[in-house]
């Protein structure tokens, strides 16, 4: 079994400066050991070589005296740590650009990007295509590293200051695109330009092709060397980051680490995710960290969602000017070391899957994140399955009773076929927004939801949904209308569908004297089709998730959760009285024992992270769990529990949740109590 497969990484990344090639390696190793780390990620090559390379076009950091990388690998191994060698081939020193200009990125008018002496390369140029493999080969031939990591893999079109330069128009890109599609490169990212759609495909194909080459080069040397980057193709350890950026629009996303981990952990059975907690507040500010409370939430979300730990600073600890978060990091790393047996092999018991859209930063991203947040806050167990991997996962998707599609408009035929077959086998579908609403998907919409679109509204300005049915929507005893905004599809449902939430058509809204005259139209906020012999299809043709993500009204959440309740009992396994600011995780261990984790997010006020307020008592009911021999809180929280032998229900009460608690629920085996 490869060393990483146990999924217990406690990774520290020291993102070195070129001057650190002269750093005291003994001190570096001793500092990292203080974190109970078992993996060290350290710079090897690419922009700067941290070892005495003999390759002509591999720029050595001028601060290198001996063999920094060699010394680090030897001493880290002796200290019981694995070493992942970090490479960055996205840029190279300007002295290489002077000699091999054909390897580099070009703007549309043929200019290179030179950022403080470092020049952007191109994925299709000879440096990335061939020379990078020689550099990797040199490192692997000389040093017994345990893994390779590639920073900024793929197409990079902006510099560190955030200036955007557009696609690469170098001769290699032009030639390769022409060979592949017989077209010239598109002039801009214009979705209406057919060449742009082809260019997206080109990026996807060429990036995968490069990963194929890297995979072949690395694995031909040893299967035991892990490949890691921010992609999932031919990668053993998928890397992601929980980071902040001063220019990132609000709302602040508190489930960053949970989402980053779940989307890979739940989707792939053969890959690890290592989600790096970036200490720095932003790239221009690499030497001040975010709040320690935010760091704690990221790290706990990592392990609670099924991964290990991963933390990064710039430079070395010896002169790092912000020590404020380091004690918190050490404590959580130590907790993971001491209780490692529980982590990394957690089994999901969820019967709801939420599909993560491809390219999730697009409009579909907000809808997805909003629904993710609703499910988290309501303590609903769910898995995340990446859209592009749906066909590969089809075989074991039948364990889900409901698959939620969050306003996903672009589909490959093979993905839709997989969904269609799942539904035929009885998996219910719930889709929001304009999912499947495009004319070319009309057949699917009809079959899956007994629905057809009559009209598209890009923005349902001033419309409401009439919540008349208080049985289906029990939280609306005192509120009859819920506003909607954003995209709405006016849908006609067929005879097999029950319609819900009649649309209240927009009327004049100003001045107040004219704000009346609303009437109910022929369209609805939801339709649930029940076709015999097929799974149900619930269509919610508005953007419940986006509305909740952006504005946070509980009403949009409560409407969508009530519609989910039409399809599945969300509390069939676990119910709790914990408030929405407590993130709940419920899993089984490989031995079948229960593992309950509770994370307190009450310190987050929407922007600021502070000490979480103690929450409790919290009661959690595990339904039909079975006989229990013992229940133990790993962080020492005070718990009481009782089991009902008749129903198998187990009720656990945690007196007070501080920041995080993990509760092992051990099953009674062989009829004897431990
Ligand atoms: Zn290019």
pLDDT digits (tens, 9 = 90+) for 353-368: 999 998 754 445 899 9
* Model confidence at 669: pLDDT above 80: no
> Do both 143 and 292 map to the same domain?
yes
Ligand 1 center to residue 132 CA distance, Å? 15
List Cα–Cα distances, 485 to 436, 461, 475, 556, 580, in angstroms. 19, 5, 21, 11, 24
Ligand 1 center to residue 155 CA distance, Å? 9
Residue 592 belongs to a domain: yes
Number of H helices, E strands in the chain: 16, 33
Average pLDDT of 80-93?
A: 97
* Model confidence at 33: pLDDT above 70: yes
Residues facing residue 596 across a β-bridge: 586, 663
> Do both 561 and 421 map to the same domain?
yes
DSSP-derived pairing of the beta strands 650-654 and 639-643: antiparallel
Which two tokens mark 146? Answer: 């345990």
**pLDDT of 671:** 44
Ligand 1 center to residue 152 CA distance, Å? 15
> Do both 369 and 450 map to the same domain?
yes
3-state helix, strand, coil in the chain (%, to 5): 30, 30, 40
**At 582, is the secondary structure helix, strand, or coil?**
strand
Angle at alpha carbon of residue 156, lines to 127 and 167, rounded to 5°: 95
Residue 102 belongs to a domain: no
Ligand 1 center to residue 632 CA distance, Å? 57
State residue 384 phi and psi, 5-degree precision. -110, 130
Which two tokens mark 77? Answer: 């191994």
User: Which ranges of 516-605 would DSSP assign to H, the alpha helix?
Assistant: 544-551, 554-565
**At 508, is the secondary structure helix, strand, or coil?**
coil
- Taking residue 551's Cβ as centre, other Cβ atoms within 10 Å add up to 13
DSSP-derived pairing of the beta strands 650-654 and 582-588: unpaired
* Model confidence at 673: pLDDT above 80: no
Ligand 1 center to residue 570 CA distance, Å? 49
Residue 176 belongs to a domain: no
> Do both 496 and 612 map to the same domain?
no
Residue 19 belongs to a domain: yes
User: Which ranges of 186-287 would DSSP assign to H, the alpha helix?
Assistant: 194-219, 256-265
List Cα–Cα distances, 535 to 26, 196, 395, 413, 531, in angstroms. 62, 37, 17, 20, 7
**pLDDT of 363:** 46
> Do both 390 and 499 map to the same domain?
yes
Ligand 1 center to residue 204 CA distance, Å? 14
**pLDDT of 668:** 79
Average pLDDT of 600-624?
A: 97
Ligand 1 center to residue 58 CA distance, Å? 20
The full DSSP string for 444-505 is HHHHHHSEEEEEEES--TTEEEE---TTTSGGGTT--EEEE-S-EEEEEE-TTEEEEEEEE-
Ligand 1 center to residue 174 CA distance, Å? 7
> Do both 361 and 488 map to the same domain?
yes
Ligand 1 center to residue 170 CA distance, Å? 4
Ligand 1 center to residue 89 CA distance, Å? 14
Average pLDDT of 287-305?
A: 98
Residue 480 belongs to a domain: yes
> Do both 310 and 393 map to the same domain?
no
Q: Does residue 639 contact residue 663 with C-beta atoms inside 8 Å?
A: yes
Helix (H) or strand (E) holding 288: strand 285-289
Ligand 1 center to residue 109 CA distance, Å? 13
Ligand 1 center to residue 467 CA distance, Å? 54
Ligand 1 center to residue 631 CA distance, Å? 58
Q: What is the CATH number of the domain that holds 369?
A: 3.40.50.880
Ranges 241-255, 350-364, 505-519: which has the least confidence: 350-364
Residue 227 CA to residue 214 CA, distance in Å, equals 9
**At 673, is the secondary structure helix, strand, or coil?**
coil
Last residue of a domain, one of 544, 567, 590: 567
**At 329, is the secondary structure helix, strand, or coil?**
helix
> Do both 452 and 554 map to the same domain?
yes
> Do both 519 and 585 map to the same domain?
no
Ligand 1 center to residue 194 CA distance, Å? 20
Residue 618 belongs to a domain: yes
Ligand 1 center to residue 107 CA distance, Å? 9
Which two tokens mark 462? Answer: 């001033």
CA-based nearest residue to 261, from 657, 522, 583, 524: 583
Q: Which residue range is the domain that position 233 belongs to?
A: 3-90+118-155+224-342
Which two tokens mark 205? Answer: 């194909």
Q: What is the CATH number of the domain that holds 241?
A: 3.20.20.80
Ligand 1 center to residue 389 CA distance, Å? 28
Ligand 1 center to residue 362 CA distance, Å? 24
Last residue of a domain, one of 541, 567, 593: 567
Ligand 1 center to residue 264 CA distance, Å? 29
* Model confidence at 44: pLDDT above 80: yes
Last residue of a domain, one of 567, 588, 614: 567
**At 218, is the secondary structure helix, strand, or coil?**
helix
Ligand 1 center to residue 199 CA distance, Å? 12
* Model confidence at 591: pLDDT above 90: no
Q: What is the pLDDT of residues 55-76, one digit of tens each?
A: 999 999 999 999 999 999 999 9
pTM above 0.75, yes or no: yes
Ligand 1 center to residue 167 CA distance, Å? 8
> Do both 357 and 336 map to the same domain?
no
Residue 209 belongs to a domain: no
Q: Is 116 exposed, middle or buried (0-12, 13-18, 19+ CB in 10 A)?
A: exposed
Ligand 1 center to residue 51 CA distance, Å? 28
User: What's the domain count of the chain?
Assistant: 3
Average pLDDT of 505-521?
A: 91
**pLDDT of 674:** 36
> Do both 648 and 619 map to the same domain?
yes
Ligand 1 center to residue 220 CA distance, Å? 28
Locus of tokens 């990668």: 235
Locus of tokens 């079948």: 592
**pLDDT, averaged across the chain:** 95
Residue 188 belongs to a domain: no
CA-based nearest residue to 376, from 470, 450, 305, 458: 305
> Do both 334 and 356 map to the same domain?
no
Residue 539 CA to residue 647 CA, distance in Å, equals 35
Ligand 1 center to residue 105 CA distance, Å? 5
* Model confidence at 534: pLDDT above 80: no
Ligand 1 center to residue 359 CA distance, Å? 21
Long-range contacts of 494-497 (CB under 8 A, 24+ apart): 494/446, 494/450, 494/451, 494/452, 494/529, 495/450, 496/450, 496/529, 496/530, 496/531, 497/449, 497/450, 497/451, 497/527, 497/528, 497/529, 497/530, 497/539
Q: Does residue 429 contact residue 535 with C-beta atoms inside 8 Å?
A: yes
Cα radius of gyration (the chain): 27
Q: What is the CATH number of the domain that holds 631?
A: 2.60.40.1180
The sign of the torsion formed by the CA atoms of 249, 256, 156, 178 equals negative
């Amino acid at each position: 079994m490869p060393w990483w497969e146990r999924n217990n990484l406690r990774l520290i990344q020291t993102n070195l400066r070129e001057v650190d090639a002269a750093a005291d390696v003994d001190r570096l190793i001793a500092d990292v050991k203080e974190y109970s780390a078992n993996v060290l990620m350290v710079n090897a090559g690419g922009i700067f070589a941290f070892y005495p390379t003999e390759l002509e076009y591999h720029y050595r950091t001028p601060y290198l005296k001996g063999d920094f990388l060699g010394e680090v690998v030897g001493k880290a191994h002796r200290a019981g740590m694995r070493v992942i060698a970090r490479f960055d081939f996205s840029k190279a020193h300007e002295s290489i650009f002077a000699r091999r200009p054909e390897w580099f990125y070009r703007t549309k008018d043929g200019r290179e990007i030179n950022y403080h002496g470092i020049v952007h390369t191109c994925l299709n140029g000879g440096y990335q295509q061939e020379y990078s493999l020689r550099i990797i080969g040199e490192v692997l031939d000389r040093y017994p590293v345990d893994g390779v990591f590639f920073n900024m893999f793929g197409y990079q079109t902006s510099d560190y200051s955030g200036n955007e330069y557009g696609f690469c128009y170098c001769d290699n890109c032009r030639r390769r695109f022409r060979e592949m599609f017989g077209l010239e490169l598109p002039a801009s990212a214009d979705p209406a330009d057919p060449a742009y759609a082809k260019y997206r495909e080109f990026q996807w194909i060429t990036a995968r092709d490069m990963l194929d080459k890297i995979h072949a080069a690395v694995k031909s040397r040893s299967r035991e060397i892990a490949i890691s980057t921010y992609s999932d193709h031919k990668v053993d350890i998928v890397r992601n980051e929980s980071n902040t950026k001063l220019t990132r629009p609000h709302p602040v996303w508190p489930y960053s680490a949970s989402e980053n981990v779940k989307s890979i952990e739940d989707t792939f059975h053969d890959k690890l995710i290592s989600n790096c907690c970036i200490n720095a507040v932003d790239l221009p500010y690499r030497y001040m960290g975010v709040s320690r409370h935010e760091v704690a939430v990221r790290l706990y979300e990592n392990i609670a969602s099924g991964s290990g730990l991963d933390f990064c600073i710039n430079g070395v600890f010896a002169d790092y000017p912000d020590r404020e978060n380091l004690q918190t990091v050490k404590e959580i790393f130590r907790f993971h070391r001491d209780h490692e047996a529980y982590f990394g092999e957690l089994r999901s018991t969820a019967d709801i899957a939420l599909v993560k859209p491809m390219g999730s930063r697009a409009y579909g991203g907000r809808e997805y994140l909003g629904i993710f947040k609703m499910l988290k806050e309501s303590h609903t167990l769910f898995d995340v399955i990446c859209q592009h991997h749906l066909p590969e996962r089809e075989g074991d998707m039948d364990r889900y009773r409901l698959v939620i599609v969050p306003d996903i408009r672009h589909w490959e035929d093979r993905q839709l076929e997989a969904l269609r077959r799942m539904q035929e086998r009885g998996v219910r579908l719930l889709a929001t927004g304009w999912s499947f609403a495009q004319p070319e998907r009309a057949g699917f919409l009809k079959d899956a939801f007994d629905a057809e679109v009559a009209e598209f509204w890009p923005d349902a300005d001033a419309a409401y949904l009439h919540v008349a049915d208080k049985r289906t929507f029990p939280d609306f005893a005192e509120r009859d209308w819920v506003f909607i905004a954003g995209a709405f599809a006016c849908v006609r449902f067929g005879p097999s569908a029950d319609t819900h939430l009649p649309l209240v058509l927009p009327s004049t809204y100003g001045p107040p004297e004219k704000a009346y005259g609303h009437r109910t139209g022929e369209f609805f906020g939801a339709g649930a089709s029940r076709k015999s012999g097929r799974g149900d299809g619930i269509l919610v043709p508005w953007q419940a998730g986006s509305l909740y993500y952006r504005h946070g009204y509980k009403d949009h959440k409560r409407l969508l959760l009530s519609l989910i309740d039409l399809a599945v009992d969300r509390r069939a396994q676990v119910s709790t009285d914990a408030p929405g600011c407590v993130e709940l995780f419920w899993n089984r261990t490989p031995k079948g024992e229960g593992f309950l984790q509770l994370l307190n997010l009450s310190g987050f006020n929407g922007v600021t992270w502070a000490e979480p307020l103690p929450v409790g008592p919290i009661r959690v009911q595990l339904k039909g769990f079975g006989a229990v021999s013992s229940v133990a809180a790993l962080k020492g929280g005070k718990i009481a529990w009782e089991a009902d032998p008749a129903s198998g229900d187990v009720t656990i009460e945690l007196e007070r949740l501080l920041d995080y608690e993990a509760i092992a629920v051990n099953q009674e085996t062989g009829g004897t109590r431990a």
